[in-house]
Amino acid sequence: MAEEIKKAIIPVAGLGTRFLPMSRVLSKDLLPLVDKPVIQYIVEEVVKSGIKEIIFVLSPGQKTILEYFKKAPDLEKLLIKRKKDSLLKDYREFEEMIEGVKFSSVIQKEALGDGHAILQAAKVATNSPIAVSFGDDVVDSEDPALRQLIDVFKTCSAPVVALKSLPRDKIPAYCTLSVEKIANRLYKIKKIIEKPDPSEIASDLVIVGKYVLTPEVFGYLKKAKPSKKGEIILSETFDKMLQDGKIIYGYELKGEWLECGDKAKWLKSFFYLALQDQKFGPELKQYIKTIK
């Protein structure tokens, strides 16, 4: 039986240069999607997947995210005093979501790649399998994305990578995967090429920033050679494992993949969720009809 996944790493130490000038003072993970920040969607997914311990990978001086997930009893008292019942209901739902969740952090002193970011949490992983969810990728699904990966891990006890299909012309901005389909939505990964030439595209599948990693992956990350840019890249580490005959599975997620890695993708994700929202959606749809 596979070991239970009890912890999740959420790397949010990126510089957010694609969001300048906003990201000068505000971490891009705190940008709103409808009425809550991107990072809350990521944390909610982790918690709904049954995980109660979260390790943020932060950049030096980046403390706002930890502050966001601290309880604020004085704020609750103020809402009660001012009889803000609707706001109080929303706030209490947030408090219930983080109830019993342990938050901690490690520091990534330099932005040296996604693999390097994950490696900073190696000691906290305590030689156990662990979930990873990057702050750029929100998946709108009734079945939380990480739980989908964990269910696969329970049957295979090997690393599991989240996948989604994309049009062929978009794949060079991501990666390409050579795969062997072994069940519905489930693949055995054969090869990974980061940012391929169009001639190298092997399938319409790309990696979403969500994983279940085994301790063996951390061993490879520790030995990984930096890329030409001086970065440790997780997909390149996976490919080295594949070359050594290790097994890595990919699972094509159910749900809508909402990217937040640059301004255009974030805005599209904002509009998608806003129009789907039960509270704001109907009014926004009517408003859009009035715009000329």
Q: Residue 275's pLDDT band (boundaries 50, 70, 90)?
A: very high
Angle between helices 85-98 and 38-48 in degrees, nearest 10 = 50
Q: What is the pLDDT of residues 24-43, one digit of tens each?
A: 888 889 999 999 999 999 99
Residue 171 within a domain: yes
| Phi and psi at residue 138, to the nearest 5° | -105, 135
Which of 25-34, 109-118, 120-129, 221-230 has the least mean pLDDT? 120-129
Which residue is listed with tokens 């390149």? Answer: 236
C-alpha separations of 81 from 85, 96, 178 in Å: 10, 20, 59
| Per-residue pLDDT at 22 | 86
Number of structural domains (the chain) is 1
Q: Evaluate if residue 126 carries a pLDDT over 80.
A: no
Residue 46 within a domain: yes
For 204-215, what is the mean pLDDT? 95
DSSP of 225-246, one letter per residue? PP-TTS---HHHHHHHHHHTT-
Which residue is listed with tokens 């947030």? Answer: 94
Residue 284 within a domain: no
For 83-104, what is the mean pLDDT? 90
| Per-residue pLDDT at 14 | 79
Q: Evaluate if residue 292 carries a pLDDT over 80.
A: no
Q: What is the pLDDT of residues 90-100, one digit of tens each?
A: 888 999 999 99
Please give the Cα distance from 165 to 206 (Å, whole number). Answer: 6
* Burial label, 263 (beta-carbon count in 10 A; 0-12, 13-18, 19+): middle
| Per-residue pLDDT at 13 | 87
Q: How many helices (H) and strands (E) does the chain have?
A: 11, 13
Q: Evaluate if residue 45 carries a pLDDT over 90.
A: yes
Are the CB atoms for 164 and 210 separated by under 8 Å? no
Residue 280 within a domain: no
| Domain CATH for 266 | 3.90.550.10
This prediction's pTM: 0.94
DSSP of 138-173, one letter per residue? EEE-SS-HHHHHHHHHHHH-S-EEEEEE--GGGGGG
For 59-74, what is the mean pLDDT? 87
Q: Evaluate if residue 1 carries a pLDDT over 70.
A: no
Q: Evaluate if residue 15 carries a pLDDT over 80.
A: no
Q: Evaluate if residue 284 carries a pLDDT over 70.
A: yes
Residue 53 within a domain: yes
Which residue is listed with tokens 């790309």? Answer: 206
Higher-confidence position of 228 and 150:
150
Structure tokens of 86?
């609707």
Please give the Cα distance from 181 to 251 (Å, whole number). Answer: 10
Segments forming the whole domain that contains residue 65: 7-275
| Per-residue pLDDT at 86 | 85
Which of 34-38, 71-75, 111-115 has the least mean pLDDT? 71-75
Structure tokens of 112?
């040296």
Q: Evaluate if residue 166 carries a pLDDT over 90.
A: yes
Residue 176 within a domain: yes
Residue 246 within a domain: yes
Please list the residues that pair with 162 across neighbouring strands.
Answer: 251
C-alpha separations of 154 from 46, 49, 128, 259 in Å: 17, 13, 14, 27
| Per-residue pLDDT at 197 | 86
C-alpha separations of 249 from 19, 165, 177, 194 in Å: 33, 15, 11, 17
Residue 249 within a domain: yes
Average pLDDT of the chain is 92
For 213-232, what is the mean pLDDT? 91
Strand pairing report for 7-11 and 130-133: parallel
Please give the Cα distance from 24 to 17 (Å, whole number). Answer: 8
